[in-house]
A and B are shown apart, each in its own frame.
Chain A
Amino acid sequence: MEHDKLIEDLKRGDPRALESLFSIYKDKVFNTALSYLQNTQDAEELTQDVFIEVFNSAGKFKGDSAISTWIYRITVNKSLDKIKYQKRRKRFAVITSIFSPDSAELAIDTPDFIHPGIEIELKERSQLLFKALNDLPENQKTAFILSKIELLSQKEISEIMKTTVSSVESLIFRAKQNLKNILSKKYDELY
């Protein structure tokens, strides 16, 4: 009920409603973005983009789903778009590096990501997991992040991804299988 009022206020362009929504969902949006982008600065920028989109497109929100579902969906879509954009930039940087090696160096090199919420003794392992996540197809990656890191229920994930619960179950299963294969190869490389 309180959320409905927030959306109504937001539709009228009330910035206080945006501030309230921001305080409720900022950490969820930021953490989801962080799992996808694996860079704090990028995740902060994306959090801004998400809430600006929420403010601008509040009029389009019909209330068919929960606000959290809507905000998560915007976050996931924007994260995937940003990853595609970064991949394009990397490809462009590879080409430009042929002509001027120094200028493209920053765009190509991305250091391994360490999640700030991981315990110290698990940092090295989680680093490998986040790296392996990047090799998964988009929908498997989304299902895994929302389920294992955001700890959402399969029903919530199915609403965010606009699919069925059984599809989500299958996506998580395949994501785990693929991750196991990727990590097994990594083990053989390391040991």
Chain B
Amino acid sequence: MEQNKNRDKWVEDVLSSTENIKRAEASTYIYPKILHRLKSGDSTYNIIPFKRAAFGIVTVVLLAVLNIFIVFTSQNDPGSKVIQNTESSLNSSGDQLIPSQVNPYLEILNN
């Protein structure tokens, strides 16, 4: 009980610690810096630094080029022909892939 009272009082004290807060004064050097930035054209604040954005764009472009390269070369690659041949042979022997309609268990029972 006493602990809770102390806690509540402490919390209230912390919450009211900014009462009567005095304003901090901004440095007088800020204005010349603003003028300098306006004159030099450096008025944009970079949320994403240019270097990092450029690195990201280059990475994406490289990955895209690499993917396109792999897709096109795999069409002319002998290794990919093997895959194509396998696919075509499977398609031509399509009948074999259909499961048999004969039920061996039923045949045994009938006999």
Q: Which residues on A are within 8 Å of B, measured CB to CB?
A: 15, 18-19, 22, 26-27, 29-31, 34, 40, 44, 47-49, 51-52, 55-56, 78, 81, 85, 115-119, 122, 125-126, 128-129, 132, 148-149, 176, 179-180, 183-184, 187-188, 191
Q: Which residues on B are within 8 Å of A, measured CB to CB?
A: 6-7, 10-11, 13-15, 17-18, 20-27, 30-31, 33-35, 37-38, 43, 45, 47
Bound Cα distance from A183 to B31, whole angstroms: 38
Partner of B30, one of A26, A81, A125, A126: A26
Tell me which residues across on chain B come within 8 A of A55, comparing CB atoms.
Answer: 34, 38, 43
Tell me which residues across on chain B come within 8 A of A31, comparing CB atoms.
Answer: 23-24
Bound Cα distance from A148 to B27, whole angstroms: 24
From residue B8, how far is it (CB to closest CB) to chain A in Å? 8
Q: CB distance B14 to A78 under 8 Å?
A: no
Q: CB distance A129 to B17 under 8 Å?
A: yes
Tell me the interface secondary structure of chain A in the complex.
helix
From residue B90, how far is it (CB to closest CB) to chain A in Å? 46
If A47-B30, A56-B43 touch, whether A117 touches B11 (CB-CB below 8 Å) is: no
If A22-B34, A48-B34 touch, whether A148 touches B24 (CB-CB below 8 Å) is: no
- Closest residue of A by beta carbon distance from B12: A180
Between A and B, 12 residue pairs with Cβ closer than 8 Å are A18-B34, A22-B30, A30-B25, A47-B26, A52-B34, A55-B43, A78-B45, A118-B17, A129-B17, A176-B15, A183-B11, A183-B14
Partner of B34, one of A34, A51, A122: A51
From residue A125, how far is it (CB to closest CB) to chain B in Å? 4
Bound Cα distance from A180 to B4, whole angstroms: 13
From residue B39, how far is it (CB to closest CB) to chain A in Å? 9
Partner of A117, one of B22, B27, B30: B22
Bound Cα distance from A125 to B14, whole angstroms: 5
Tell me which residues across on chain B come within 8 A of A81, comparing CB atoms.
Answer: 47
Bound Cα distance from A171 to B47, whole angstroms: 28
Q: CB distance A27 to B25 under 8 Å?
A: yes
